[in-house]
Structure 1
Amino acid sequence: MEINKKFRNKSLAFVLPFMLLVGCGTTAQEKGQEDSSVKVSSSESNEEVKDTKAGENNRLPNVQILATGGTIAGGGESNTSTTDYKAGEVGVDELIKAVPEMKEIANVDGEQVVNIGSPDVTNEILLKLGKRVNELLASDNVDGIVITHGTDTLEETAYFLNLVVKSDKPVVVVGAMRPATAISADGPLNLYNAVKVASSKEARGKGTMVVLNDRIASARYVTKTNTTAPDTFKAEEMGYIGTIADDVYFNNTITRKHTTETDFDISTIEKLPQVDILYGHQNEGNYLFKAAVDADSKGIVYAGSGNGSMSEVADEAAKEAEDAGIEIVRSSRTGNGVVTPKDYISANSLNPQKARILLMLSLTKTEDKEKIQQYFDEY
């Protein structure tokens, strides 16, 4: 990618941390493909991970960065545009080189899992990522993991990992709202902060965390609230668990079960059950419920109005789907609040997209409605 004159003359000071990204002459691999140039490939064993640590500063924690693409690895033609760019243009090596300050706080290695926009994350990718995280954290030579990710579905991946990671070592998911080529790109500092949190001993046992905009949030409570603003990720109802102001400060504890406390083990799972989200609205029909039944869906999350409210049409269609063996979860499209128990399974305070994640994993363990409700109440 070539830097234009306007970018070079007027904006260099703002994007210097990502100069290597836009001018190094190295392009990322094709969309969705693994990067063969990184130090550690996803097929390497833990012993090989140990070998890559040889000769590094043994006084610093070892942090592995798993890259999946997204805006933080995006590039565009204009340094003034924050929306006109292509996600997943930059590989993990360039991300690491662009923030050399990370080497002062941790021994950092990188691995490219995929390089895509986050709307293209599939269940297969979630399983691949979750298994790799568990594999790496089982090594004594990995102290924490940072995952770079597109922001659009970041909260879903983070919550998935919050439920399936079997270690108390820190796992931090990070992204950016501005591509690497934009003025005042937020990716470099977000990535640095994520590595700092993953390096912190105080971060152990807190489940999967999301770090953006100097805030530390639990994957269980955080959500994207704005289409383009850098401060889009918020935990409005439950609050953040910490903040970063040069140092890392944790202020709140997590009471929901996560990581080693959950029942979910994906080590032998090759496929997750299909769960769909249906959005409630005025004048809705029953045909989407019927389509889910015909498509052999195993679960439906209904994003109802208010307190997960259903129209008479939706309620009748949901009962028919339930009779056909589909688990129904009531969530809310409002964005905040608890959906109180009534008919069907209540999502508690989970938004529809996270309710889908938990229902998928629940269905790998049981089809018992009461047990699934227990998962929603505890996780």
Structure 2
Amino acid sequence: MRITFILCFCLLVGFNSYAQQLPRIKILATGGTIAGKGASADRSAYTSGEVPVQDLIAAVPGIEKLATITGEQISNVGSQDMSVDIWMKLNKRINEIFKNNEADGVVITHGTDTQEETAYFLSLTLRYDKPVIITGSMRPSTGISADGPKNIFDAVSVAASKQAAHSGVLLVFNENILTGRDAVKTSTTHLNAFTAPNNGPIGQVYDGKVFLYEKETRKSNKETPFDITGLTSLPRVDVVELYADAPATGIEASIAAGAKGIVTGGLGNGNLNKANVTAVEDAIKKGIIVARASRVPTGRVTLLDETDDAKLGTIVADDLNPQKARVLLMLGLTKTSDSKQLQQYFFEY
């Protein structure tokens, strides 16, 4: 009897020691397709944000072998309804988690519609250089071959790995690892929905094994100047997309609505037609910062090319798409309204 007791005690101590050695990963759920439910497994229709975080965790076989997992529900919305308020709540909570040593890494489950914007916002505002991984799914939890559990398993694998340390905010999807800055949703429905059009993935994850081939070359989140502590809102920045024969009504409406900044999704190299050049001139006279981005999915918008930015008073978004350029301009405007400094942010972050 005594030998049996001692053996059980030793096994228990060994198990607890093993558990303590596992990385501590906190999963923060925000809703989205990954938490969606449909009426039928073989139909695409579903409602986002129906499944709570504990059920998401329970649906991932073997996740307990990767890390000690805890979960929190931050929000439960479809990411078409993602908001600056939720971004700021996420930022505050993640900074608290690392400040209080509650976890070694964070995984965020998120809808795919605005996942790239959340990833970039967090990469610009988090103050701790620990793994933060964002993932989601293209099929709801009730769908045939739902991809959510696999993506969560992969995201936890990356968050728990030594390779992810000092890599900033990453997006893990369909076994690819992308930087929060460069990840873009490029398919409306396919499982391989995310890529980095200019640079490609920086790594892959397969069967719990993480392979990182590159590091982000832009300034790290530890160097970010954008401290939103104490802020309850961000300056309004609107996106106006151009097309053949586009009128100036979009820019005019943004001026009238009180926007502090405007990002144009311009033609080609961020070009503006004559009607919108006039509207941009009016916006700049009123003190509104205008950043030229492009509706083209790859390449950079370059200074002093077909558009004379020095004469017009515009800045360029470099290789950021319009929606990501909006994120950086909102944060930049919390620091300065000087166009030269704002332009430098676009070249550095």
Structure-2-length-normalised TM-score: 0.91
Alignment of 1:120-199 (within 5 A): 120-199=81-160
Which of the numbers 350, 371, 378 marks the counterpart of 2:320? 350
Which of the numbers 364, 367, 371 marks the counterpart of 2:334? 364
Residue 63 (1) aligns with residue 25 (2) = yes
Which of the numbers 223, 226, 229 marks the counterpart of 1:267? 229
Whether the aligned pair in 2 keeps the contact of 1:56 and 1:107 (CA below 8 Å) is: no
1:9 aligned residue: none
Listed one character per residue, the Cα deviations across residues 37-93 of structure 1 (whole Å, up to 9, x for unaligned) are: xxxxxxxxxxxxxxxxx9992110000000000000001011112x31011010001
Whether the aligned pair in 1 keeps the contact of 2:197 and 2:297 (CA below 8 Å) is: no
2:3 aligned residue: none
Q: Percent identity?
A: 47
Shift of 1:371: 0.3
C-alpha separation between the residues in 2 aligned to 1:134 and 1:374?
A: 26
C-alpha separation between the residues in 2 aligned to 1:120 and 1:301?
A: 20
Which of the numbers 284, 295, 320 marks the counterpart of 1:333? 295
C-alpha separation between the residues in 2 aligned to 1:140 and 1:283?
A: 55
Residue 93 (1) aligns with residue 64 (2) = no
C-alpha separation between the residues in 1 aligned to 2:17 and 2:141?
A: 31
C-alpha separation between the residues in 1 aligned to 2:215 and 2:71?
A: 30
2:239 aligned residue: 277
Larger Rg: 1 or 2?
2
C-alpha separation between the residues in 2 aligned to 1:340 and 1:91?
A: 45
C-alpha separation between the residues in 1 aligned to 2:268 and 2:250?
A: 20
Shift of 1:100: 4.1
Partner SS for 1:302: strand
Structure 1's unaligned 5+ residue stretches are 1-53
Shift of 1:354: 0.3
How many corresponding residue pairs? Answer: 325
Which of the numbers 167, 171, 175 marks the counterpart of 1:214? 175
Partner SS for 1:57: helix
Listed one character per residue, the Cα deviations across residues 287-341 of structure 1 (whole Å, up to 9, x for unaligned) are: 2212111111111000001100100111110110111111100000011100001
C-alpha separation between the residues in 2 aligned to 1:325 and 1:355?
A: 18
Residue 305 (1) aligns with residue 275 (2) = no
C-alpha separation between the residues in 1 aligned to 2:83 and 2:102?
A: 29
Alignment of 1:38-53 (within 5 A): none
The 3 A distance-change label for structure 1 pair 199 and 145 is same
Q: Which amino acid aligns with 2:193?
A: T
Whether the aligned pair in 2 keeps the contact of 1:130 and 1:165 (CA below 8 Å) is: yes
Whether the aligned pair in 2 keeps the contact of 1:152 and 1:224 (CA below 8 Å) is: yes
The 3 A distance-change label for structure 1 pair 231 and 345 is same
1:114 aligned residue: 75
Whether the aligned pair in 1 keeps the contact of 2:112 and 2:136 (CA below 8 Å) is: yes
Whether the aligned pair in 1 keeps the contact of 2:154 and 2:206 (CA below 8 Å) is: no
1:314 aligned residue: 276
C-alpha separation between the residues in 2 aligned to 1:160 and 1:197?
A: 20
